[in-house]
Amino acid sequence: MRIITFGTFDMFHIGHLNIIERARELGQHLTVGVSSDALNFSKKQRYPICNEHDRMRIVKALACVDEVFLEESLELKADYIKAHKADILVMGDDWQGKFDHLKPLCQVVYLPRTPAISTTQLIEVVREIK
Ligand code: C2G
């Protein structure tokens, strides 16, 4: 089985590693779409702390990741799934139900998020350190 997952993976943390490892365990090949800086800006009106080049390098360096590409639009999921011949799309359950329309193309699996850690929370903690 070929797996695909997507994310920004800004300030890479244990929640990111957990979902990537669990996604890889569902098959034999894992492709990760890393959201572009521009896509993040359009969604959140701010750029990630780490740029897309560095975020892609970090994800690509993981032993459980076989392939990485830049995700430039949320609307292109179906094209990315076909281009990478993915059998299963894995997303965290903060996206529960959001990608069910892709079920004719591949299996869609939502895995539970790792509790008590997020990029937003890390940014807030670092900001508070004076
Ligand atoms: N995640 C997790 N546990 C956390 C934090 C994140 O399991 N504590 C998961 C998210 O559910 C997601 C992945 O890690 O599946 C990447 O999270 P983000 O970097 O926040 O990516 P996001 O902005 O949700 O992705 O097409 C989707 C886009 O790429 C956006």
- Domains, the chain, with CATH or none: 2-129 (3.40.50.620)
**With a 6 A CB cut-off, is 91 part of the ligand 1 pocket?**
yes
| pLDDT classification of 53: cutoffs 50, 70, 90 | very high
CA distances in angstroms from 92 to 75, 88, 113, listed in the order given: 18, 13, 6
Residues 13-35 have a mean pLDDT of 98
Residue 6's SS3 state is strand
Q: Please report the pLDDT score of residue 123 as a whole number.
A: 87
Kindly give the distance from the C-alpha atom of residue 113 to the centroid of ligand 1, in angstroms, as a whole number: 8
| CA 52/CA 34 separation, integer angstroms | 7
Q: Please report the pLDDT score of residue 88 as a whole number.
A: 98
| CA 49/CA 1 separation, integer angstroms | 33
Kindly give the distance from the C-alpha atom of residue 100 to the centroid of ligand 1, in angstroms, as a whole number: 17
Per the DSSP assignment, residues forming a β-bridge with 122 are none
pTM for the whole thing?
A: 0.96
pLDDT tens by residue, 64-84: 999 999 999 999 999 999 999
